[in-house]
Amino acid sequence: MNGTRPRNTRSQRLLEERTADLQRVKAEYDNYRKRVHRDRMAVREIAVANVLRALLPVLDAVDRACEHEPMTRGLKDIADTLETQLGSLGLQAFGEEGEPFDPTRHDAVTHHLSPDADRLTCTEILRPGYRLGDHLLRPAHVEVTGPPPHGANPDRPLP
């Protein structure tokens, strides 16, 4: 009996060691799979952002055509399809008249002073901005109206 007990204990110890090794390898493999998936998603996001950024001039051209040309059925179909397809990839336009100016999302092209204004506000959207999720693809170009600097005369031009 004494001869089998140490052997059984030795076998049990080896089994526990191999089980721990297997669990460690499995955990490492699971972490590797998660990291590869995360890396693939990051590469996909970067690729989509690059394609969308390259298509923004096309979107601008279609928008200008819609503003300045008679709206034909073909032009409307092109504009609608482009908007739908780019939206399905996650492209979101932003920039609304009246929204507060945010220097992280807007480029102020023109600044007007108004004694009635209490904060900087986007008063005209010259070119919409676009984002993909939380990533800014292009800031909106805006005209901004805001209060004059403290103690300044709003009727006198700034130097």
pLDDT digits (tens, 9 = 90+) for 38-54: 999 999 999 999 999 99
Q: Is 136 exposed, middle or buried (0-12, 13-18, 19+ CB in 10 A)?
A: middle
- Residue owning tokens 């009727």: 155
* Distance from chain centroid for Cα 86: 13
Tell me the average pLDDT across 120-126.
95
Beta-carbon count within 10 A of 140 CB: 25
pLDDT, position 123: 95
pLDDT, position 108: 95
The answer to whether the beta carbons of residues 113 and 145 sit under 8 Å apart is yes
Task: Please give the share of the chain, as a percent, with pLDDT higher than 90.
Answer: 79
- The CATH H-level (homologous superfamily) assignment of domain 92-159 is Head domain of nucleotide exchange factor GrpE (2.30.22.10)
Tell me the average pLDDT across 15-35.
95
Tokens of 45: 């996001």
Q: Is the pLDDT of residue 155 over 70?
A: no
Q: How confident is the model at residue 5 (pLDDT cuts 50, 70, 90)?
A: low
Q: The pTM is what?
A: 0.72
| DSSP per position, the chain | -TTHHHHHHHHHHHHHHHHHHHHHHHHHHHHHHHHHHHHHHHHHHHHHHHHHHHHHHHHHHHHHHHHHS---HHHHHHHHHHHHHHHHTTEEEE--TTSBP-TTTEEEEEEEE-TT-SS-EEEEEEE-EEEETTEEEEPEEEEEEEPPPTT--TTSPP-
Say which amino acid occupies 106.
H
Q: Is the pLDDT of residue 102 over 80?
A: yes
pLDDT, position 111: 93
> What is the rounded average pLDDT for all residues in the chain?
90
- Which of 77, 63, 72 has its CA nearest to residue 140? 63
pLDDT, position 148: 86
